[in-house]
Copies of this chain bind each other. A is one copy, B any other.
Amino acid sequence: MTPPNTGRRSEASRRAVLTAALDLLQEVEYAKISIEGLASRAGVGKQTIYRWWPSKGAVIFDAFLMLSEGAEGGPVQLPDTGDLAADLTEVLRATVTELNEPRYEQPMRALATEIAHDPELAAIYAERLDGPLREAKRQRLRRAQRAGQLAEDLDLDVAVDLIWGPLFQRWLHRSGPLTTEYADRLVATALDGLRPRR
């Protein structure tokens, strides 16, 4: 067993590194952040970082987890008032607000970048962050499907991608304004489809 003092000291160093990562992300271009820079900002040795994290991406991932800790707690669940369109609109509007928040923006961009280039980190992300969230989305859609509100033969994974994929791309590539109005239209268009309904 680790003596309590060492444990507390380790935890303090760990949080110092993650806080340093979040601070640096607000100040410096992501590509310019190095393990050296992180260590010096956190006041720990480089070896401390290498002992706990295999890569800069892994630090960013944990920093992001720490940042969103408060928001999570307990299993994720999407609202279910029975009105699917209203529930999805509420969730997407909240996502738009979060994506536009300066505190989240750089950590999320950094994480998106690391995942894009590091298949191992992508797997960890899928398992620990995206997986549970995706399952919550699928569950909400499944309930609507059982209630006859969604097509019987709908592929729920494709459905999740259709609702959240466009938002992610528009945010990442800044291909258009990320507004609540856009969120509303996205939900409505995904539910109704592009073809006319008669």
Contacts and interface: CB of A to CB of B under 8 A. Distances in A.
Interface of A: 29-31, 109, 112-113, 115-117, 119, 122, 125-126, 130, 134, 141, 148-152, 154-155, 157-159, 161-162, 164-170, 172-176, 182, 185-186, 189-197
Q: Is the interface of A mostly helix, strand, loop or mixed?
A: helix
Contact of A117 (B109, B130, B175): B109
Contacts of A30: 117
A182 B172 CA distance: 22
Contacts of A168: 165, 169
B151 A161 contact: no
A82 to B, nearest CB: 15
Given A125-B173, A174-B122, A155 B185 contact: yes
Contacts of A152: 196
Contacts of A192: 151, 193, 195
A157 B176 contact: yes
